[in-house]
């Protein structure tokens, strides 16, 4: 179950939010009236901040508007304390909207102002907020770094509330990875001790829930019950109570106490429905369904899960939806409704693929986010420096004007003014030089972030290469399996014949013994034959799969195309046991050798063969009547026109065609783009054809495609001779 809301309850939104609209409107009107009458700008900043906080729970746009008013006025009078609090509140508002980039920028501005006024408590709070944001972005290492930094400052201040909060946050980050669950439990217990020491009830409830969650995961039910009961006593009747109530229901069901279990589930459902908390209601329903299954009330469990499914789809809660589909599939199978069970299995797979895809996309988006964040920070820094330069220029102009007026009265005043003007110019030049150096440093930060993005792309390309290596390995295993079976079988037969020959020799039957010896000799010849065959396969495969020097060499294209065709077919059989396809080859016997890097061209062939087998297999599985999967490979030497006019050059053409589903015309032009794929999520990275295209181009050749939807696809590799 998701415990995120319990973990950050004390940090990001630690201020009280008004829930009564009438009271809110009355206070907002009062604040607006008092702002108009105030003469002290610093007090106005505070009132604008309070006004924004009044709207934070109901009207985010209005809240941000008043925070901006506080910031503008605070900058005008250089009121650091007010600026720090306003930027902090604005960061919280953007975080509430899910605009994390803007949130981080505002928190960093708040952090800068708190540090300038040496407000350690404010600094610790902002570091904790930033840690929470990076946790939500999936950057656990950055989140831990910020939370530990916040903890260090809080311990120096002996601020118990902040210390307990930091312990709780650190435990939450550790709990995200099941391998660090013991570290999570340690920090949750530290948090509980601190909150109990200051009698902070909300903190005690939060830490108790998290400790109960850990023990629930580890099936230590007595301990889980103890801590969830402790949390429930402090939060009963509130939305936070749904979490311990649901887990207490599941624990009692596991212990066979179904009456108590249903009592806890009913309370969780009543609170969720009363507060219209759809996420908590979804989790409560899932817990109830699990209890119903344990009591073998399968129809009740199915009805409860169907209700939870509608809620999970409505709020896009993918992890909960995955749990629902899994339980529906298992429960439908138990009641014999195997069709529904299969449909839910398919839905489970689909949600898993969506989660896996979002994880990959999140990694790339994280790097892009950090790149854009650094870029935006650099732009803000440049704007600030430009403003400072303009202010310096205005200051210089004023000096010149005053110096000129003073020149009417005395020469000495003019001399002094000119001296001051010159000194100011020197300072401005020095400031400009410092700013140029800072701008250079910001540019380096942006370039570093861009390098990280390229590194992530390189990692994905490496994963595609490793997938190709897996195809090679599977092909080799199937190619070598048959001769090894022969060797093993004939070896066993020879051993039996030798025992038989010894028996005949002992009985004096020399003639029969000689016949057996002849049979042994024949079998040994077969063993030698198949052993040499296996050796030839291994040497051939190693010749194409080893890393090599990366140098071009004269290569027999017919042999290369044939070997990789057989190897890829065997590899595909390893994954699809019932796969059948007709393989046709038409190799030009007079084809000259080509100067290529055989390992690289082999990778291109492997990708194209794999795509062809995938296409015909997909079409076969659709059940089209009379369809026979066919993959064809041919080679020839052809004239290829170059430039304008009649000039041409000879090239080797390798054509790979299939009678699969084909490629829609509206996406044919996109298939060589990196990360573009028509396969379902999880079945391909979208890099295979892109890498193949780059390899062929690097050899001075071309890779072309022709396809007709529902008829088939033909790829042509053209290599220079």
Q: Residue 700's closest CA among 594, 557, 607, 605?
A: 594
At residue 211, the pLDDT reads 95
Q: Residue 369's closest CA among 275, 250, 498, 456?
A: 456
684 vs 328, more confident: 328
Q: Is the overall model pTM greater than 0.75, yes or no?
A: no
Tell me if residue 275 falls in helix, strand or coil. Answer: coil
Average pLDDT value for residue range 149-167: 94
Residue 613 in this model has a pLDDT that exceeds 90: yes
Residue 250 in this model has a pLDDT that exceeds 70: yes
Residue 414 pLDDT grade (very low, low, confident, very high; cuts 50, 70, 90): confident
At residue 165, the pLDDT reads 94
Q: Which helix (H) or strand (E) holds 227?
A: helix 221-235
570 vs 548, more confident: 570
At residue 20, the pLDDT reads 39
User: Which residues are CB-contacts of 339 (< 8 A; sequence separation ≥ 6)?
Assistant: none
Residue 558 in this model has a pLDDT that exceeds 90: yes
Q: What Å distances lie between residue 110 and 255, 334, 371, CA to CA?
A: 51, 57, 21
Indicate if the alpha-carbon torsion angle 171, 174, 177, 180 is positive or negative.
negative
Structure-token pair, residue 378: 């650099």
User: Which residues are CB-contacts of 197 (< 8 A; sequence separation ≥ 6)?
Assistant: 160
At residue 188, the pLDDT reads 94
At residue 490, the pLDDT reads 77
Please write the tens of the pLDDT for every residue from 573-609.
Answer: 878 878 889 999 999 999 999 999 998 999 999 999 9
Please write the tens of the pLDDT for every residue from 188-226.
Answer: 999 999 999 999 999 999 999 999 999 999 999 999 999
**CA distance linking residue 571 with residue 565, whole number of Å:** 10
Helices 41-55 and 21-37: angle between axes, nearest 10 degrees: 160
The fraction of the chain above a pLDDT of 90, given in percent, is 42
> Which residue's entry shows tokens 């939104």?
13
Query: Phi and psi of 297, rounded to 5°?
Result: -90, 75
Residue 236 pLDDT grade (very low, low, confident, very high; cuts 50, 70, 90): confident
Please write the tens of the pLDDT for every residue from 616-633.
Answer: 999 988 888 889 999 999
Choose the most confident range, by mean pLDDT, from 261-270, 376-385, 401-410, 665-674.
261-270
**Which alpha helices (DSSP H) does 408-549 contain, by range?**
411-506, 510-545
Residue 552 in this model has a pLDDT that exceeds 70: yes
Tell me if residue 512 falls in helix, strand or coil. Answer: helix
Report the Cα–Cα distance between both ends of the chain, in Å, rounded: 63
At residue 443, the pLDDT reads 76
**CA distance linking residue 530 with residue 487, whole number of Å:** 6
- Domain residues of the chain, as ranges? 553-720
Average pLDDT value for residue range 479-494: 77
Of the candidate ranges 28-42, 272-286, 622-636, the one whose mean pLDDT is the lowest:
28-42
Residue 7 in this model has a pLDDT that exceeds 50: no
Of the candidate ranges 115-119, 324-328, 503-507, the one whose mean pLDDT is the lowest:
503-507
**CA distance linking residue 54 with residue 41, whole number of Å:** 20
Q: What Å distances lie between residue 585 and 226, 286, 319, 600, 657, CA to CA?
A: 72, 56, 48, 21, 11
Residue 557 in this model has a pLDDT that exceeds 80: yes
**CA distance linking residue 86 with residue 53, whole number of Å:** 10
At residue 719, the pLDDT reads 94
The fraction of the chain above a pLDDT of 70, given in percent, is 79
What DSSP character marks residue 656?
E
Residue 21 pLDDT grade (very low, low, confident, very high; cuts 50, 70, 90): very low
Structure-token pair, residue 699: 């050899």
At residue 156, the pLDDT reads 94
Q: Residue 166's closest CA among 192, 148, 178?
A: 148
**CA distance linking residue 308 with residue 317, whole number of Å:** 10
Residue 397 in this model has a pLDDT that exceeds 90: no
Mention the CATH class of domain 553-720: alpha beta
At residue 405, the pLDDT reads 65
Average pLDDT value for residue range 435-455: 72
Going by their DSSP bridges, the two strands 630-641 and 582-586 should be labelled as: parallel
- pLDDT, averaged across the chain: 82
Query: Phi and psi of 322, rounded to 5°?
Result: -60, -45
Residue 320 in this model has a pLDDT that exceeds 70: yes
Of the candidate ranges 426-430, 489-493, 524-528, the one whose mean pLDDT is the lowest:
426-430
């Amino acid at each position: 179950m998701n415990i995120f809301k319990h973990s950050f309850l004390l940090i990001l939104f630690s201020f009280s939010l008004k829930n009564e609209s009438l009271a809110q409107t009355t206070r907002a009107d009062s604040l607006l009236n008092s702002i108009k009458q105030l003469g002290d700008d610093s007090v106005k900043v505070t009132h604008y901040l309070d006004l924004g906080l009044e709207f934070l729970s109901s009207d985010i746009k209005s809240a941000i508007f008043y925070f901006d008013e506080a910031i503008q006025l605070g900058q005008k009078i250089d009121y650091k304390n007010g600026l720090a609090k306003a930027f902090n509140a604005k960061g919280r508002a953007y975080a509430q909207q899910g605009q994390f980039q803007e949130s981080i920028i505002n928190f960093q501005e708040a952090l800068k102002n708190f540090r300038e006024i040496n407000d350690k408590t404010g600094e610790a709070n902002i570091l904790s907020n930033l840690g929470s944001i990076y946790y939500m972005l999936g950057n656990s290492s950055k989140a831990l770094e910020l939370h530990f930094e916040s903890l260090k400052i809080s311990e120096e201040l002996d601020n118990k509330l902040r210390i307990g909060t930091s312990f709780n946050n650190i435990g939450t980050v550790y709990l995200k990875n099941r391998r660090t669950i013991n570290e999570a439990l340690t920090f949750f217990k530290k948090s509980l001790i601190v909150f109990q020491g200051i009698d902070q009830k909300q903190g005690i409830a939060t830490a108790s829930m998290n400790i109960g969650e850990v023990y629930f995961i580890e099936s230590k039910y007595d301990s889980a019950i103890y801590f969830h009961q402790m949390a429930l006593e402090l939060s009963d009747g509130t939305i936070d109570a749904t979490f311990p109530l649901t887990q207490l229901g599941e624990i009692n069901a596991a212990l066979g106490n179904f009456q108590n279990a249903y009592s806890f589930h009913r309370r969780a459902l009543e609170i969720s429905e009363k507060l219209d908390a759809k996420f908590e209601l979804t989790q409560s329903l899932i817990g109830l369904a699990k209890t119903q299954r344990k009591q073998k009330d399968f129809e009740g469990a199915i009805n409860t899960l169907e209700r939870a499914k509608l809620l999970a789809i409505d709020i896009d809660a993918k992890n909960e939806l995955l749990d629902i589909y899994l339980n529906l599939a298992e429960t439908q199978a138990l009641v014999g409704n195997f069709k529904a069970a299969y449909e839910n299995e398919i839905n489970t797979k689909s949600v898993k693929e969506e989660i896996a895809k979002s994880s990959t996309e999140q990694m790339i988006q994280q790097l892009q986010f950090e790149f854009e964040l650094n870029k935006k920070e650099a732009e803000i820094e440049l704007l600030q420096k430009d403003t400072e330069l303009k202010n310096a220029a205005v200051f210089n102009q004023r000096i010149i004007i005053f110096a000129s007026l003073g020149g009417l009265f005395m020469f000495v005043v003019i001399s002094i003014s000119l001296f001051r003007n010159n000194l100011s110019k020197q300072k401005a030049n020095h400031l400009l030089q410092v700013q140029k150096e800072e701008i250079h440093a910001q540019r380096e930060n942006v370039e570093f972030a861009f390098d990280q993005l390229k590194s992530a792309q390189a990692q994905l390309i490496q994963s595609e290469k490793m997938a190709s290596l897996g195809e090679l390995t599977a092909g080799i295993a199937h190619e070598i399996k048959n001769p090894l079976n022969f060797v093993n079988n004939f070896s066993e037969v020879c051993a039996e014949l030798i025992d038989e020959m010894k028996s005949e020799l002992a009985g004096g039957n020399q003639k029969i013994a000689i016949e057996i010896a002849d049979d042994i000799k024949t079998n040994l010849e077969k063993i030698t034959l198949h052993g040499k065959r296996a050796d030839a396969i291994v040497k051939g495969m190693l010749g194409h799969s080893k890393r090599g020097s990366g140098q071009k060499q004269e290569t027999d294209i017919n042999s290369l195309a044939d070997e990789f065709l057989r190897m890829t077919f065997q590899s595909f059989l390893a994954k699809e046991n019932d796969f059948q396809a007709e393989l046709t080859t038409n190799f030009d016997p007079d084809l000259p050798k080509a100067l290529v890097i055989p390992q690289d061209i082999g990778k291109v062939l492997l990708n194209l063969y794999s795509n062809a087998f995938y296409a015909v297999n997909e079409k076969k599985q659709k059940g089209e009547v009379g369809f026979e999967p066919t993959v064809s490979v041919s080679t020839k030497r052809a004239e290829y026109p170059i430039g304008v006019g009649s000039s041409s050059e000879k090239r080797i053409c390798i054509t790979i065609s299939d009678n699969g589903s084909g490629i829609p015309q509206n996406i044919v032009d996109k298939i060589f783009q990196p990360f573009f794929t028509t396969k379902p999520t999880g079945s391909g990275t979208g890099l295979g054809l892109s890498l193949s295209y780059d390899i062929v181009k690097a050899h001075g050749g071309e890779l072309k495609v022709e396809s007709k939807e529902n008829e088939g696809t033909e790829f042509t590799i053209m290599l220079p001779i």
